[in-house]
Amino acid sequence: MWAYLVRRVLYYIPLYLSILLVVMLMLRVNVDSAIMVKLGKNPTPEQIELIRTDMGLDKPFLTQYYILVKDVLTLSFEQRSWDQSVPVGEMIRKAIPPTLMITLPSLAITATISIAIGLVCSFNRGRWLDRGLMILAVLGMSVSYLVYIIIGQYFGASVLSQEMGVLPFEIQGYEPVIGPLEGESSAGLLNPMNWVKYCMLPVIIGVVVAMGYDTRFYRAVMVEECTRDYITTALAKGASSKKIMFVHMLKNALIPIVTRVMISLPFLIGGSILVEYYFSIPGMGRTMIDAINSKDFPVVQATVSVFAAFVIITVILTDVLYALVDPRVRLS
Amino acid sequence: MRRIGHSLIISGVLCSVLAAPAMAQKVLQLPIRTDGPKSLDPVEGSTTYDNMACVQIYETLLTNKYTDPLKYEPLLLTEMPTSPDNGKTWHFHLKPGVLFYDPYTYPNEFAKEPIFDGSRTRAITADDVFYSLKRLADEEYELENWWLVKDTILGFNEFKDEQNAAAEFDYSAPVEGFRKISDLEFEIELTQPVYRFNYVLGMFQTSIVAHEAVDTFGDDFFRHPVGTGPFVFESWTPKKDMALVANPKYHDVYYPARDEWSSEDRRRRLHRPAGKQVPFVDRLEFMMFPQDQPMWLEFQAGNIGYTQVPDEFFPQAFDKRTKELLPDQSARGVSGHSDRLLDFIFRGFNMEDPVVGGYGEKAKALRQAISLAMDLNEFNETFYSGLNVVYDGPIPPGLDGHPEDGRAAGAYQGPNLALARQKMNEAGYPNGEGLAPIKYLANRGGNSPEQTELMERQLARIGVRLDVQLVDFSTLIESVNKKNAPIFSFAWSSDYPDGENNLALFYGPNEAPGANHYNYKRAEYDALYERILTMSPGEERTAIYEQMRDMLLEDVPYIGSMARERHYTINEWLLNCRPTERYYSWFKFLDVDDSKRR
């Protein structure tokens, strides 16, 4: 397996370097626009030159590329953001925890509930329970994410606050759940109430939105499993439906489940742009979209390189997991 | 178990008693619409949000009056600057007892002890004023705000060139126009009498900073402010929130006297704390809102003191027709306020364009026809709920040179389709025949695509077709600066409350990439502009403003104009609030009444 892993890593290195190269090339197609964004409507040629030097854009392209590769290898990202003037590495370090506080629970809850519903639906396929749940899933899928956010904020926070006099959820901002942010004081290391206050509503919305898609996917997977011979054999042997669903079917459906969950993993770091934007959560998704909007190239490069690295690592890990969950798969 | 119960009760009571002083703190929560400031270094600041945050911590020599924000008053000075030679030399006297306050805990990564020779405070001097102005000339700060003082102060341009060419920028090098008389007295001599210099001294970019703080924090100075302002820095999470606490060493600044308030303001009881030392609150917390809905909901929940009312929520707070606050809002103790912004929203022509540009009768007639075909009121009703103000000329409402009731004789303000068609004939394009589609550039964001569609429909009525290019903002700026945009959509917000600022937009030497995006060049206009620069406000100057305005109305280098009217709602617990966006150092006058919080 180790030989396989080394081979895969070696295979992905040129691919990764190419991704970095393409990103840099794309960003430099219209580099003047980034300067204009920073300098406003009436820059003088003198200012343009000054800022070009300050941004490191006067250096040869290969030198700029080398700096990026070095930053990625050392995970330092010392270059300062053009928009926020703070080191990019610091921005990313601060953005990852809020994102994980939302995406990790969302993924875990969505996957657990969707798989369970998928199993129940497949076992009852064609019956009212299956049809009802699938109608709900389609309805859930059909409504825009934005609508859930707006309604969630309105009822989940504002109405509760005004009508009941309590404010269970904040609709704005984020406070650290584990440990203090750099430069800030904190009473303790673990603040679970902060999670309830700042993350729970976005997580609920994320779960509701994702469940429609996931439930349909897992149902399809399970329905296919239902038609397998081993299910007929188990039924013939008198196995209970619980045992068939949660022991036999689930085990055999693990490959598509693992694939789906692993595909979602890089997005845990990427964050949810809409949720983070509307709830003002300073996570990776918001950092990335803000950087794109303000043409903050160092941050765009850094976030894309982190994201690409996660995608590659996930692909390799998925292969490994295949071998672990299915003895027929051999890594060679 | 019982013992534990008793202990808990006693602990609870003790905690309540101990917590009592903390609860008595007055905390004011205010919103910042959008992501908030990018920098807390005044010399790097440019946006409204940089301004909003900076002026709570730093102070300028002059500031706007809370009772009438179009007027100025001394802030760090004992009196308004005086000039013995009609505006060429200005004499300043700093207020004694104004202290910089260093709020940081020590030791930290930047210093072992407080930055003013181990002390937390130091009085400001004339040297601090010179130092702060010299920072505008330092290329290290990318000259972002150099335009404020460029060509204005005697010997300053030369100082800038010499110091930036040198191996190290020497802040102790002299500037010919800076003359220190004593620690609290100094003079600044200008290259020529320029009245707007006073306004510049009220802009947040010229706030007074301490060199010790800049030296100590270096590249991190932008997030370690040390100023003389009513509040001192506590924490800042970019794009999220910022906390400031009352400056324990704030100098003597008092709430405006009763007779300074208008009768309308007195009726609203705004004069109540007259003569009291400010600030009133112990802590000021800013919350950043990139989206409007959370801001509006937080206001409704009573968690922020006041808010701008976003257009889409206007009908929830105000009657759309009368613009009066709705009864259900009043019943909750909410009050309303409105304020006109110094806006100049327009669509500009490139006067160097071979089709729409030029000063000949035909080209002029084409621009006049286009202007006459446009119905700005329809834009106002469709896209701004009728909240904007449509007016003639480039000078926004409230300033000298703005026409009475917003209408000027001789303006080619539409809709007047009959006259527009006649002008098309004069231009040689009857019903648009022979006229190729004209390139029109606008920002692709917001409702710009819909606005462009309306514009296309209105112009189609006289046969004018547009080649629409919706681009991102940077591309729009680039095209305008390179004179590649025959018609373009832009807006200007006045830097200071004087029509001169808007008239400068048409001054020949300011042509693109300068602020004269229209590349309007008329020697007669330029001569008048150079004249008004040195004039102080008065009837004579206003008459020239009107003359210049009328020249523009005749030549039509733009289609316009519109200004936004901002509406605010204020929660009952926020006291002394009279929102304005002309300046932001008025937060120190605000107070809270926690008994009225829901």
Go through chain B and tell me how many residues it has.
Answer: 598
Peptide bond connecting B310 to the previous residue in cis, omega within 30 degrees of 0: no
Residues A223, A251: contact at Cβ < 8 Å? no
The whole-number pLDDT of residue A3 equals 82
Does residue B75 surpass a pLDDT of 60?
yes
d(CA A145, CA B292): 17
Predicted confidence (pLDDT) at residue B20 exceeds the cutoff of 50: no
Provide the percentage of residues in chain B whose pLDDT is more than 70: 96
**Domains of chain B and any CATH numbers:** 65-97+125-202 (3.90.76.10), 343-563 (3.10.105.10)
Long-range CB pairs of A1-10 (<8 Å, 24+ gap) are A1/A320, A1/A323, A1/A331, A4/A319, A4/A331, A4/A332, A5/A316, A5/A320, A5/A331, A8/A316, A8/A319, A9/A316
- So what's the pLDDT on residue A273? 83
Q: What is the mean pLDDT of residues A34-63?
A: 79
Q: What is the pLDDT of residues B382-422, one digit of tens each?
A: 988 888 999 999 999 999 999 999 999 989 998 999 999 99
Q: How far apart are alpha carbons A214 and B338 in whole angstroms? A: 49
The full DSSP string for B68-119 is: -TTSEEESSBSS--B-TTTTSEEEEEBPTT-EEE----SS-SS-SS-TBTTB
pLDDT digits (tens, 9 = 90+) for A234-253: 989 988 888 888 888 888 88
Task: Mark yes or no for CB contact B477/A36 under 8 Å.
Answer: yes
Q: Provide the pLDDT confidence category of residue A197 given band limits of 50, 70 and 90.
A: confident
Average pLDDT across chain B, whole number: 92
**Mean pLDDT of all residues in chain A?**
84
Give the minimum alpha-carbon distance from A100 to chain B in angstroms, rounded to a whole number: 18
Average pLDDT over residues A298-309: 90
pLDDT at B4 over 50: no
User: Comparing C-alpha atoms, which of A121, A93, A89 is closest to residue A217?
Assistant: A121
**Is the separation of the CB atoms in B101 and B226 below 8 Å?**
yes
d(CA B560, CA B411): 10
pLDDT digits (tens, 9 = 90+) for A129-145: 999 999 999 998 899 88
Which pLDDT band holds residue A18 (cuts at 50, 70, 90)? very high
Distances, alpha carbon B203 to alpha carbons A39, B15, B45, B185, B469, in Å:
18, 46, 11, 21, 36
- Check whether B544 has a pLDDT greater than 90: yes
Q: Which B residues in the span 310-349 are in contact with A, Cβ-Cβ below 8 Å?
A: none
B296, B334 in Cβ contact below 8 A?
A: no
pLDDT, tens digit, for every residue of B101-142?
999 999 999 999 999 999 999 999 999 999 999 999 999 888
Contacts of A98 in chain B (CB under 8 A): none
User: Which stretches does DSSP call E strand in B360-413?
Assistant: 389-390
- Is B290 in CB contact (< 8 Å) with chain A? yes
Confidence of residue B22 (pLDDT cuts 50, 70, 90): very low
pLDDT at A27: 87
Q: How many beta-carbon pairs under 8 angstroms link A with B?
A: 107
Give the C-alpha separation, B381 to B307, whole Å: 23
**For residues B323 and B325, what is the distance between their CA atoms, to the nearest angstrom?**
7
Q: Which of A314-328, B47-61, B338-352, B433-447 has the least mean pLDDT?
A: A314-328
Predicted complex ipTM exceeds 0.90: no
Count the neighbouring beta carbons within 10 Å of the beta carbon of residue B384: 18
Banded model confidence at residue B13, pLDDT cuts 50, 70, 90 = very low
Q: For B467-482, what is the mean pLDDT?
A: 86
* A47 vs A150: CA distance, rounded Å: 42
Q: What confidence score (pLDDT) does residue B301 get?
A: 86
pLDDT at res. B122: 97
pLDDT band at B512 (very low <50, low <70, confident <90, very high): confident
User: Does B82 contact A at CB distance below 8 Å?
Assistant: no
For residue B511, give the 3-state DSSP assignment: strand
pLDDT at residue A329 tops 80: no
Q: Give the tens place of pLDDT for each residue, A265-286.
A: 777 776 678 888 888 888 888 8
pLDDT recorded at residue B469? 94
How far is the C-alpha of B445 from the C-alpha of B488, rounded, in Å?
Answer: 14
> Is A42–B514 a contact, with Cβ atoms under 8 angstroms apart?
yes
DSSP B267-334: HTTTTTTTT-BS---SEEEEEEESSHHHHHHHHHTT-SSEEE--GGGHHHHB-TTT-PBPHHHHHTT-
Cβ distance of B515 and A161 shorter than 8 Å: no
User: To the nearest whole angstrom, how far is the Cα of A42 from the nearest Cα of chain B?
Assistant: 5
Check pLDDT > 50 for residue B100. yes
- The SS3 call for residue B488 is strand
Query: What pLDDT, in 10s, does the model give residues B49-66?
Result: 999 999 999 999 999 999
> B505 to each of A38, B86, B499, B515, how far by Cα in Å?
21, 25, 10, 5
DSSP state of B519: -
Domains of chain A: 92-270 (1.10.3720)
Contact A158 B290 (CB under 8 A): no
What distance in Å separates residue B143's CA from the closest CA in chain A?
Answer: 7
Are B513 and A173 an interchain contact pair (Cβ–Cβ within 8 Å)? no
Question: Chain centroid to CA B405: how far?
Answer: 24
Digit-coded pLDDT (tens) for B148-174:
898 899 999 999 999 999 999 999 999
Mean pLDDT of B200-218: 96
B481 touches chain A (CB under 8 A): yes
Q: Give burial (CB, 10 Å; 0-12/13-18/19+) of B207.
A: buried
Residue with tokens 């306004």: B199
Q: What tokens were used for B309?
A: 């009312």
Q: Tokens for B215, please give them.
A: 């030296």
Q: Give the long-range contacts of residues B327-335, CB within 8 A, separation 24 or more.
A: B329/B569, B332/B572, B333/B571, B333/B572, B333/B596, B334/B569, B334/B570, B334/B571, B334/B572, B335/B268, B335/B569, B335/B570, B335/B572
Mean pLDDT along residues A182-189: 52
Residues of B in contact with A84 (CB under 8 A): 38, 238
Lowest mean pLDDT, pick from A124-128, A182-186, A221-225, B281-285: A182-186
Residue in A42, A49, A154 to test binding to B, most B beta-carbons within 10 Å: A42
CA distance to partner chain B, nearest, from residue A309 (Å):
27
Q: Does B46 touch chain A (CB under 8 A)?
A: yes
A187 interaction partners in chain B (CB closer than 8 Å): none
- For B515, the closest of A42, A167, A290 (CB atoms) is A42
Q: Do the chains contact at B38 and A84, CB–CB below 8 Å? A: yes
Q: Is B108 touching A (CB cutoff 8 A)?
A: no
**A46, A171, A277: residue with CB nearest B143:** A46
The distance of A17 to chain B (nearest Cα, Å) reads: 29
d(CA A48, CA A118): 58
Q: Cβ neighbours of residue B205 under 8 Å, at least 6 residues apart?
A: B42, B43, B45, B46, B136, B145, B148
Answer yes or no: is pLDDT of A206 > 60: yes
Report chain A residues whose CB lies below 8 A from the CB of B241: 173
pLDDT band at A184 (very low <50, low <70, confident <90, very high): low
CB-CB: which of A44, A54, A277 is closest to B291?
A277
Task: Give me the pLDDT at residue B18, please.
Answer: 45
Q: Tell me how crowded residue B146 is: count the other CB atoms within 10 A of its CB.
A: 21
- Distance between CA atoms of residues B99 and B120, nearest Å: 9
Q: What is the mean pLDDT of residues A311-331?
A: 81
Name residues whose C-beta falls within 8 Å of residue A99's C-beta, 6 or more positions apart in sequence: A268, A269, A270, A271, A272, A276, A281, A283, A284, A285
**What pLDDT does B16 receive?**
44
Distances (CA, A) of B300 to A129, B29, B333, B595: 41, 13, 11, 17
pLDDT at A160: 75
Peptide bond into B486 cis (omega under 30): no
Residues of chain B numbered 376-395 and touching chain A (CB < 8 Å)? none
The per-residue pLDDT for range B273-314, each reduced to its tens digit, is 999 999 999 999 999 988 888 899 889 888 899 999 988 889
pLDDT in tens, B232-260: 999 998 888 999 999 999 999 999 999 99
Is some CB atom of chain A closer than 8 A to the CB atom of B235?
Answer: yes
Shortest alpha-carbon distance between residue B483 and chain A (Å): 13
Q: Which chain B residues have a beta carbon less than 8 Å from that of A86?
A: 223, 238
